[in-house]
Structure 1
Amino acid sequence: MSKPAFTTPAEAEAAFYDALARSDLEAMMSIWSEEDEVMCVHPGGPRIVGLAAVRELWRQIFAGGTRLEVRTSQLVTHATLVLAVHNLLEEIAVAGEEAGGPPIVATNVYARGANGWRMVMHHASATPDLMNLQFQDAPHIVH
């Protein structure tokens, strides 16, 4: 099966979230670069490096059969001719349920190669409880 040629990072990103919502492993892996330096980090999870390890991670996630509804917002992008970085908020809920958890901050990195744009990194992190941070007396370090 040949991989689709994504002509823009936005096309690759739309395909990523579509594959995630459908729990479609083959569609998910068609978005990733075939370079072995790809990376994936999910909230609270370890850093996964390498195409085979990333594939196994998604296989395990999709094996449960849970369908997800994913809404994205607040997209901020930076792009050059060969690299694009997208930072956004993900709101993820189990399909059919009214509410999900708090938003997740995600950074998706795409590289342009001979066969179009491909994902090289997905890093998702839980958002802090901003209300509690606002009311703390002591200063806090974010990074």
Structure 2
Amino acid sequence: MSKPIFTSAADAEAGFYDALARSDLDAMMSVWSEDEEVVCIHPDSPRLVGLAAIRESWRQLFAGGVRLQVQTSHRVVSANMLLTVHNVIEHVAIEGDERLHPPMVATNVYARGALGWRLVMHHASPTPDVQQLAGQDAPRVVH
């Protein structure tokens, strides 16, 4: 089975979110670069490095039977001819769950190679509770 050729980072990103919505492991992995230095950080999870670890994490997620519907918004793009970074807000709905879930912040990094654009890093994190932060009296140290 040959991998699709993504002619832009936007096409690769569409493939990523489509594979996620369909819980399609083969389609998900076709978006990723074949470079072993790929990185994936799922919300509230440790950093995964390498295709085997990333494949296994998606396999476990998809095997759980949960179907995610993800809409993205507020995309910020930094790009050059070989590397593109997308930072997006992910609005995640879980099929069959009517609750409103807080959005995620995700950074997706794409590299251009001989076979088109491929994902080299995905990092998603929950957004902070803004109302809770507003109620804090003390300054918040970030780093």
TM range (shorter): over 0.9
In the alignment, the residues of structure 2 paired with residue 71 and residue 95 of structure 1 have an alpha-carbon distance, to the nearest angstrom, of 13
In the alignment, the residues of structure 1 paired with residue 14 and residue 55 of structure 2 have an alpha-carbon distance, to the nearest angstrom, of 19
In the alignment, the residues of structure 1 paired with residue 25 and residue 124 of structure 2 have an alpha-carbon distance, to the nearest angstrom, of 18
8 Å contact from structure 1 (residues 91, 100) kept in 2: no
Which residues of structure 1 form unaligned runs of 5+? Answer: none
- Tell me the alpha carbon deviations over residues 83-141 of structure 1, each in whole angstroms, 9 at most, x when there is no partner: 00000111111123323421010000000000000000000111111111122111112
Give the equivalent residue in structure 2 for 1:61: 61
**What secondary structure does 1:98 align onto?**
coil
In the alignment, the residues of structure 2 paired with residue 100 and residue 14 of structure 1 have an alpha-carbon distance, to the nearest angstrom, of 23
Give the equivalent residue in structure 1 for 2:25: 25
In the alignment, the residues of structure 1 paired with residue 59 and residue 100 of structure 2 have an alpha-carbon distance, to the nearest angstrom, of 22
Give the equivalent residue in structure 1 for 2:50: 50
Equivalence map 1:1-143=2 (5 Å): 1-143=1-143
In the alignment, the residues of structure 1 paired with residue 76 and residue 47 of structure 2 have an alpha-carbon distance, to the nearest angstrom, of 23
> How many residues are matched?
143
In the alignment, the residues of structure 2 paired with residue 99 and residue 70 of structure 1 have an alpha-carbon distance, to the nearest angstrom, of 14
TM-score by length of 2: 0.96
In the alignment, the residues of structure 1 paired with residue 94 and residue 23 of structure 2 have an alpha-carbon distance, to the nearest angstrom, of 12
In the alignment, the residues of structure 2 paired with residue 83 and residue 119 of structure 1 have an alpha-carbon distance, to the nearest angstrom, of 10
Task: Provide the identity percentage.
Answer: 66
Structure 1 runs (4+) deviating above 3 angstroms are none
- Tell me the alpha carbon deviations over residues 19-57 of structure 1, each in whole angstroms, 9 at most, x when there is no partner: 000000000000000000000001110100001111111
8 Å contact from structure 1 (residues 94, 100) kept in 2: no
In the alignment, the residues of structure 1 paired with residue 4 and residue 126 of structure 2 have an alpha-carbon distance, to the nearest angstrom, of 31
**What secondary structure does 2:109 align onto?**
strand
TM-score by length of 1: 0.96
- Tell me the alpha carbon deviations over residues 63-97 of structure 1, each in whole angstroms, 9 at most, x when there is no partner: 11221111111110100100000001111111233
